[in-house]
Structure 1
Amino acid sequence: MAKVIVTVAPTGGMASKAQNPNLPTQPEEIAASVHASWKEGAAIAALHARRPDDAATCNAGIYRRINGLIGERCDIVINNSTGGGSSGDMLVERPDGLFESSFEERLKGCDAGAEMATFDGMTFADVHGGREICVITTPSRCEALARRMQERGIKPEWEVFGPQHILQDVTRLIEKGYDKPPYYINMVLGADKGFQGAMPYSHDILAAMIRMLPPQSIFCVSGIGPAQLPATTQAILLGGHVRVGLEDNNYYARGQLATNEQLVARTVRIIAELGHEPTTPSEARDILGLPAR
């Protein structure tokens, strides 16, 4: 019987309440949704912060408020994002009319006392809300982000959207000593039209990326939109861990908007039907090498 870590990603940096009224964006809403997801079996909360106007931010004070409210309710592992989002504090307008995601703002996601943080080492450009947005994470920026996490005693959750992220930044930074095994690598697949440079989801792509992982890695899979259910189910079958939630997928089924706790509950049922068990937060900390809370 395998132990499977279930991560809930309740908010993200892009989705809006206009798309799904169940999306929690303010600290009290996020804490309540995470608590409900923890009761359904989630062991890690992958958190994005929002300003009072629901725009994206990595403001450490807002993160500390979210983290504190969650910690009062349950012992779930806290994982703050350094990816930011597509609005608010994260965007800087450039003289050429493009918008760039502020790397300085992203670094603030490491400053709120989280146990883990997402390491978003991607560089890409995309259109969101009518704006062309560039996310630029150069090798030197990747090293600065990894150093900030190491200084804060934060374990990275390495976010990879394709083989290039595994073979370049993740492997390079692991070899330079910025993380200790086991290395926790989250593979994001299925984004529409290559959003954020992500590969589409297929059995063959996921299996190939697993084979590329550095030794002593354990993996998690996040499927975007309709890829969420098949991708996470395959991850369980291949011995991995899973992430679900409204950051990645607004729908429980076609035409039926989801809640975070519904998506977690379904995943836990699938884990049980396959003969495995979801971990508790304490067991997840043991698997990841995190200190006991």
Structure 2
Amino acid sequence: MNRTVVITCALTGAGDTVGKSEHVPVTPEQIAESGIAAARAGAAIVHVHVRDPETGAGSREVALYRKAVELIRAADVDVVVNTTAGMGGDLVLDPASPTTILPGTDLVSGVERLAHVGEVRPDICTLDCGSLNFGDGSLVYVSTPDILRDGARRIQELGVRVEMEVFDTGHLWFARQLVEEGLIDPPPMFQLCMGIPYGAPADPRLLATMVQQLPPDAVWASFALGAMQMPWVAQSVLLGGHVRVGLEDNLYLSRGVKATNAQLVERARTIIEAMGASVATPEQAREILRLPAGAGR
């Protein structure tokens, strides 16, 4: 069991959730405000996507990241900033003619996906460690071994810590390969992402198996979608890991009750402390991850 637990709050994501909850932040100002509130509630790390302020759709626009991160860093609260680097991997194919690329495709190189990371220099950024049939339909998330190696090298050059996002068991295999090739700085940081159709299902037995496959010096967290978000907090802590909650993964505090990011962090904190563990401060999170003190501020 983990006795000092880092809470990450994933603030908004890029999914089609804006119309489903009034609490999903859209503008850089709203994203920053929600992140600051989550930090005050006990999140040591905030995971930042940005959205087009006009449409609410996920965006790779560097200026939006710059504004959101500047506002978070200017606040009177300390928090570790973790930005996505997963945007730019969407490929939508015509099932009747698979060589035909459909609207909704946003597919760029691994290095181009990191344009905002080079600009804002977060403490951490993600690396989605494999391709995936992303839900029903014809959307494929594309992240090939060569794309991932190029991205990992660029992140190392920027001096940013990688959080390897693992959506299936094969992704974990390749993430370990990146570590063995020296493309991931120690300690390797893994996020085990469960319940995303059609990746690894949210099965506690599978989580335990994946944890057994991690390198001995790994720092890891996990999360699951929807109603499994809070049970997964307990699962992660029991198995020795850290946790992630937030509106990217779940919109509800309880059945029919829509949540804010701060409320989800508060609920996770209640679970962690009821288990006899403590919630890590940002300073403790930096020590666990070997991040420079006050990095990025």
What letter matches 2:107 in structure 1? S
Q: Is the 8 A contact 2:91 2:142 kept in 1?
A: no
Give the corresponding residue for 2:151. Answer: 145
The code of the aligned residue for 2:182 comes to: G
Counterpart of 1:133 (choices 133, 139, 144) is: 139
* Residues 56 and 85 in structure 1, CA contact (< 8 A), matched pair in contact too: no
Deviations 1:154-204 (A, max 9, x none): 11001001211111x21111111112222111101123xxx2x42111221
CA distance in 2, matches of 1:59, 1:10: 17
* SS of residue matched to 1:114: coil
For normalisation by structure 2, the TM-score amounts to 0.89
Cα offset, 1:270, TM superposition: 1.0
Gaps (5+ residues) in structure 1? none
Relative to structure 1, the CA distance from residue 92 to residue 58 in structure 2 (aligned partners, 3 Å threshold; closer, same or farther) is farther
Contact 1:60/1:108 (CA < 8 Å) preserved in 2? yes
Which segment drifts farther, 108-117 or 156-165? 108-117
Contact conserved, 1:42 with 1:264, CA < 8 A, in 2? yes
Q: Distance in 2 between matches of 1:249 and 1:161?
A: 17
Q: Deviation string for 1:13-53 (max 9, x for gaps)?
A: 11332111100111110111111111110000111011222
Equivalent residue for 1:96? 100
The alpha carbon displacement at 1:108 in A equals: 2.2
Q: Which moved more, 1:177-186 or 1:276-285?
A: 177-186
RMSD: 2.0
Picking from 71, 79, 97, the partner of 2:82 is 79
CA contact (8 A) 2:91 2:140 kept: no
Verify the 8 A CA contact 2:252 2:258 in the aligned structure 1: yes
Q: Residue 199 of structure 2 aligns with which residue?
A: 198
Counterparts of 1:85 and 1:251 in 2: how far apart (Å)?
Answer: 28
Cα separation, 2, equivalents of 1:93 and 1:45: 33
Correspondences of 1:1-293 after superposition (within 5 Å): 2-53=3-54, 54-73=56-75, 74-84=77-87, 96-98=100-102, 99-104=104-109, 105-111=112-118, 112-126=120-134, 132-167=138-173, 169-191=174-196, 195=197, 197-293=198-294
Count of residues in Structure 1 that have an aligned counterpart in Structure 2 = 283
Distance 1:187 1:126, change over 3 A: closer
CA contact (8 A) 2:91 2:105 kept: yes
Contact 2:7 2:44 in 1 (8 A): yes
- In 2, the alpha carbon distance for the partners of 1:127 and 1:235 equals 24
TM-score normalised per structure 1: 0.91
Post-superposition CA distance 1:183-233 (Å, at most 9, x none): 111101123xxx2x4211122111000001122102101111111111121
* AA in 2 matched with 1:177: G
Asked if 1 retains the 8 angstrom alpha-carbon contact of 2:34 and 2:261, the reply is yes
CA distance in 2, matches of 1:61, 1:133: 27
Distance 1:91 1:31 in 2: 29
Instruction: Structure 2 unaligned segments of length 5 or more: list them.
Output: none
Query: Are the counterparts in 1 of residues 32 and 71 from structure 2 also a CA contact under 8 Å?
Result: yes
1:124-176 superposed Cα distances (whole Å, 9 cap, x missing partner): 23467xx7322211111010110111111111001001211111x21111111
Shift of 1:91: 7.0
Paired letter, 1:69: L
Report the Cα distance in structure 1 between the residues aligned to 2:225 and 2:147, rounded to whole angstroms. Answer: 26
